[in-house]
Amino acid sequence: MKPKISLRQQGLVVFTALLAPLLLQTRPTGAGAQVTVLACAAAVPLLWVLLLPAGRGLAPDGPVLCRGAFAAALAVSVACQLYQAQRFYSDTTETDLSLFWYTAVVVAAMLYGVHAGLGGITRTANVFLWACGGGAVLLLLSVVGQLRVSSLQVVASPQTQLWQALPARLLLVPEFLLPAWLAPTPRQGRKVTAAVLAGWAVVTAALAVLGEAVLGAGYADQSHPVYTVARLGGVSVFRRLDAVHVSIWMLLALLRLMLSTWALLRLLQGLLPTARSRWLLVPGGAALAVLLGTCTAQQMEWVCGGLLAAALAAALLPKRRKTP
């Protein structure tokens, strides 16, 4: 039985979770603000169309392969998220925190979030979203004196760079499918998905424009683009506000982990209802361990995206026949 959370709350919790990878970027974007805005504008309708089968496939009577691929994607995503958050934290602070200890500290909070259920996670997301909004206002105020419209890079032929930037924007993440899975009906799921995609695109474009207006052409080459902008700002006597921003962003990363883990365990409960079937987790866990040991974080993101694409393709398979 699906949890009784309103559609608006479902959309907000997924949108809040999607903010984490946007803010905790650990790789250069490689694309300027103009191309990013165009890529986001092109990606939203394309993604919405790609995600259309999700509501059908992730329904309780949908193809098992679809939910299985989605669960596998969530498992890979949780591993990616742990790695990304730990790496971001280690890079931006002077703490040499290993992935093992970071996971050990975070798992306790993650499991409590899973125990609290989607209702608890949603209520927490509201608080984190307000904190993030306050942080965004603070960020804007702190760098407004360094904003220059003339720093924005004007590209003569954005089409070429657009084709290079678009694949990165079309990379599927599990949060894109969550609204369809959580919504009571596929139609409602499509509406929430559209709202989440629009919000995600607006934030992505806004961050790119803000970053380039401050840093100029160098923004696209920054390893931690948003964090670099956060380091620049100061308000009154407070000259270093990046610790405030990092704290809020790490909370968003924790929320995303909670939501992904909760969704993964829920899916597994439905896919592997018996104790005997849960032995399938052993080869699954082994495959995940091999993946973690052999692939980079960026490769794992592509594996996750591939699994989600497989889930969407499997959603087109015939539904399971109900046993009379």
Q: Which is nearer to another protein, 109 or 272 (CB)?
A: 109
Residue found under tokens 């995940």: 288
Q: Tell me how far apart the alpha carbons of residues 110 and 243 are, in angstroms, rounded to a whole number.
A: 22
Judged by CB under 8 A, the stretch of 62-70, 186-194, 198-206, 213-221 that binds another protein is 213-221
Nearer to another protein, 175 or 212 (CB): 212
Q: For residue 28, what are the CA distances in angstroms to 24, 63, 127, 153, 214?
A: 11, 38, 29, 16, 16
Q: Rule CB under 8 A: is residue 188 a binding residue for another protein?
A: no
Q: Could you give the CA distance from residue 155 to residue 32 in angstroms, rounded to a whole number?
A: 9
How far does Cα 133 stand from its chain's mean position?
Answer: 17
Does position 223 interact with another protein (CB under 8 A)? The reply is yes
Residues of this chain, 240-299, that bind another protein according to CB under 8 A: 240
Q: Rounded to the nearest whole angstrom, what is the least distance from the CB of residue 35 to another protein in the complex?
A: 12
Contact flag: residue 224 with another protein (CB under 8 A): yes
Residue 152 touching another protein (CB under 8 A): yes
**Ranges within 39-98 binding another protein (CB under 8 A):** 91-95
Residue 154 in the binding site for another protein (CB under 8 A): yes
User: Where on the phi/psi map is residue 49: left (φ > 0), alpha (ψ -120 to 50), or beta?
Assistant: alpha
Q: Which stretch binds another protein (CB under 8 A): 35-43, 59-67, 226-234, 297-305?
A: 226-234
Asked whether position 1 contacts another protein by CB under 8 A, the answer is no
Question: How many whole angstroms separate alpha carbon 111 and alpha carbon 227?
Answer: 28
Q: Name residues whose C-beta falls within 8 Å of residue 173's C-beta, 6 or more positions apart in sequence.
A: 18, 21, 77, 304, 305, 308
Beta carbons of 156 and 222 less than 8 angstroms apart: no
Q: Which residues bind another protein (CB under 8 A)?
A: 91-95, 104-105, 108-109, 111-112, 115, 146, 148-152, 154-157, 215-216, 218, 221, 223-224, 227-228, 231-232, 239-240
